Structures are given as structure tokens and as C-alpha cells.
Structure 1
């Protein structure tokens, strides 16, 4: 007769969101290096704004349809709607995967990567581009600092976690296409409507690319042990 101390079914680490990192030290070094380099770049751009000319040129293209689309996209991902999207997406991931660990890793990956970028804005404190009264009315008050772009950081974080969640499924290609469209669309939008400089948008994309792998690895290290403890408690209680 054979016995098993663990329940049958898929492993907790099957999802790419929860797969332990094979290069944890490298991920951490890359994340720290990315943060340091981008903070330094932010201060440089704050005092030597070399991206202003290009940003102004894009902003003054005067393509009315493109501007309207960009405004709508920007407004749809302001902090409150973005938080709502996060909640809905997390619930959907939890229901589809049927695993709270995956949903938690999804939510945490976006929230931590995006939140760190928002904290960096306060450190660099780069002023926003001067906006017309009409544009300010259209997109709302933008008193917070400019570098890196919070909208692009959220979009890129969401895209990165979405792609990671779909990586081992047949929907991977669709996730990549959707993620790229979202990130490129928001990066262009914030410059077209004049609420960010081009350097702010670019920095957010680089931020997510450099920081998220370490955030994902950290989530795997935290979530998997807690899941294993819960499984052991469940097995132990059934065996009594």
C-alpha cells in the first residue's frame, strides 16, 4: 500500500507568476541598478531637459483625432479607474486559475512595481510640462511630479504581469500583442497630450523591465511557502 503526504493536482509553481527565479541574485542586482540609474537620469533630465524639444514637437502635431484618442486613453487609466481595473483583473485571474496564490502574485506584481515608480517620482520631483488651460481641464489637475510617468508605469506593469500570467498558456501571443499595444499607446498618449515628456514615458518602460523580474521572484518566494504551509495544515487536519 502506498501513501502520499501531499494532495494530488497541479504544483503551486506551475504558473509563471510563481515559478522560483533561476537567477535571483541577478534579478535583484538588475532591479537595484535600474532604480539607481533611472533616479540619476531623472535628476539629469530635471536640470538638463534634453527631451523637451522632441516632446514639444510631438505635442504640437495637432492631429485632432489622435489627440482625442490619447486623452480618452489617459483619462481611462487615472488612479481611481486604474485601481478598479486592478481589482477586476485580480478577481478574474483568481477565478480563471482557481488559485488565490496566482491572483495574489498578479495583484502584488502590478502594485509593487507601479508603487515603486510612483515613489521615484517624489524623489526626482521633475516638474510637469506647462499645459494649456484647455488641456488641464481635459485631463484634470496634474500637480504630482513628472518623472517617471505613473500612467506608463501602471500600463507597463500590468502588461508585464499579464504576459507572465499567460506565458505558459495558449494565450501567450495574444498577451504579448495586447501588452505591447497598451504600453506603446500610453507612452505616445502622455507625450501627445503634453502631460509628460518623452523621457518620463521611456523611463517607466525601462523601470518595469528592470524591476519587475525581482518583484516577481520575491512574490514567488513569499507566496509558495505560505501555500505549502496551508497545504500541510490541510493534510494534517484530514489525517487526524
Structure 2
């Protein structure tokens, strides 16, 4: 009769977040090309702001309901709330998948992709659109550079990682709908309330589309290796403990037998 036994190695259950890369070189080339091109575009827009006219037209639509919704959406994803949402989502992913590896891939995918976009803002250093005092009071100070939009970069990163996490599940369609709604909503919001130009929002979308696949690939390669290393250490420590216990038992046996004599 056979009995069930514990797995002999790290968990092999696959998630789309940890699927081995099929096109590693392509993902890296696309990510580097995206970064270089968008930095160049950012400098061009900084000195030749061809997206200003369209951005001003959207900003001056004066649709009160749309503006109020956009302000609320923008406030809800400022850096501190966004970080809180990311932590909560990571914990939820970990609990649902029951794998810390998937949770780490989720958190790292959002954090690295978003963080790289924030770093690009400092390089390009495009000034923000001029805002009225009332608008500045409504959405808060926006002293950091404008290109690409950090709010849109976070939302796009979160949407991309969420869709990837749900891709192999029955919730894939829901993930796509939620991700698209969040992304479109934030992209429109930052232009409507005048905190970003349209080019800033579009650049963030392109940034995530080009960079995240390489970030996911890096996580899919690194995290399983860390998992395997930790597993070998756990097994080694357990074997050492078991071996020590066996030796202790063996050393006691002759003494016990001698006393029996």
C-alpha cells in the first residue's frame, strides 16, 4: 500500500508571473529600446511641447462632474495610498495563491516597473503644466517633474501585473476589464485636472508595455532560484538535525546494553 508523502522539492505549481521566459533576449532588447526612446521623446517634448494644445483643450472642458471624479481618483492613488494598495494587494495574492513566490513576483513587478518610471522623471525633468491656485489646493502640490506620469505608471504597472497574475485563472476577463478601466480612468484624469500633459500619460502606458515583460522575466528567473536555494538549506538543516539525533541514539545504545548486563 502506498502512502502520500511530502513534495521532494520546491513547489512546482506554475503562475503566469513565474512562467519561465520564452523570449528572454527579445524582452530585454524591447525594454532597453523603450527606455531609450521614451527618454529621447521626453527631452523633445520638454523643449518642443507639441502636446500642450490638446492637453489644454481637455483641461478646459469644464465638465464639473468629470473634474470631480478625476480629482478623487487622482487623490486616491497618490504615492502613499498607492503604496498601501500595493501592499494590501500583495498580501491578498499571497493568501489566495498560498505561495510567497507569487506574492513577491506581484509586488516586485509593480514596484520595479513603477520605480523605473519615477527615475525617468528625474532624468527628463519636464516641468508640470501651470495650475491655478484652486487646482493646486484641490489635488495638492505637484513639484516633481511631469514626464512620464507617475500616477499613470503606477496604474498601468498594477493593471499589467494583475492581468498577468489572473491570466491562467477563470478571473482573467475580470482582471482585463478592471485593469483597462483603471488605466483609462487615470490617464484621462491627470489630463482633465491639468497635472500632466497628454504625452506624459501616453508615455507611461508605453513604458509599462515595453518594460514590464523584462521585469516579469527577471522575477521568473530569480525568484525560483532563491526558492530552490532556501529549500536546499532547509533540507540540509533538517538532515543535519536528523543525523545528529541518530548519532545520539546510537551512542546511547551501548551504554544501555552495558547497564543491562
Residues 5-41 of structure 1: CA deviation (Å, up to 9, x unaligned): 9817995361000001100000000000000000000
Flag structure 2 segments of 5+ consecutive residues without an equivalent: 231-258
- Cα distance change of structure 1 residues 27 and 72 upon mapping to structure 2, 3 Å threshold: same
- Cα distance change of structure 1 residues 29 and 61 upon mapping to structure 2, 3 Å threshold: same
Does the CA contact (< 8 Å) of 2:109 and 2:215 recur in 1? yes
Cα distance between partner residues in 1 of 2:111 and 2:143: 22
Does the CA contact (< 8 Å) of 1:114 and 1:150 recur in 2? yes
Shift of 1:200: 0.0
Shift of 1:58: 0.1
Shift of 1:229: 2.0
Does the CA contact (< 8 Å) of 1:13 and 1:19 recur in 2? no
Residues 149-200 of structure 1: CA deviation (Å, up to 9, x unaligned): 0000000000000000000000000000000000000000000000000000
Shift of 1:226: 3.4
Shift of 1:204: 0.1
Cα distance between partner residues in 1 of 2:114 and 2:154: 5
Residues 195-236 of structure 1: CA deviation (Å, up to 9, x unaligned): 0000000000000000000000000111x43354257xxxxx
User: CA RMSD of the aligned region, Å?
Assistant: 4.1
Cα distance between partner residues in 1 of 2:9 and 2:166: 20
Does the CA contact (< 8 Å) of 2:101 and 2:227 recur in 1? no
Flag structure 1 segments of 5+ consecutive residues without an equivalent: 232-237
Cα distance between partner residues in 1 of 2:182 and 2:213: 19
Residues 131-151 of structure 1: CA deviation (Å, up to 9, x unaligned): 000000000000000000000
Cα distance between partner residues in 1 of 2:208 and 2:4: 41
* Number of residues of Structure 1 aligned to a counterpart in Structure 2: 233
- Cα distance change of structure 1 residues 173 and 107 upon mapping to structure 2, 3 Å threshold: same
Residues 104-144 of structure 1: CA deviation (Å, up to 9, x unaligned): 00000000000000000000000000000000000000000
Does the CA contact (< 8 Å) of 2:148 and 2:200 recur in 1? yes
Residues 64-94 of structure 1: CA deviation (Å, up to 9, x unaligned): 0000000000000000000000110000000
Does the CA contact (< 8 Å) of 1:13 and 1:20 recur in 2? no
Does the CA contact (< 8 Å) of 2:28 and 2:214 recur in 1? yes
Structure whose CA Rg is larger: 2
Cα distance between partner residues in 2 of 1:225 and 1:6: 19
Does the CA contact (< 8 Å) of 1:12 and 1:227 recur in 2? no
Structure 2 residue aligned with 1:216: 216
Cα distance between partner residues in 2 of 1:37 and 1:51: 17
Does the CA contact (< 8 Å) of 1:114 and 1:157 recur in 2? yes
Shift of 1:4: 11
- Cα distance change of structure 1 residues 5 and 136 upon mapping to structure 2, 3 Å threshold: same
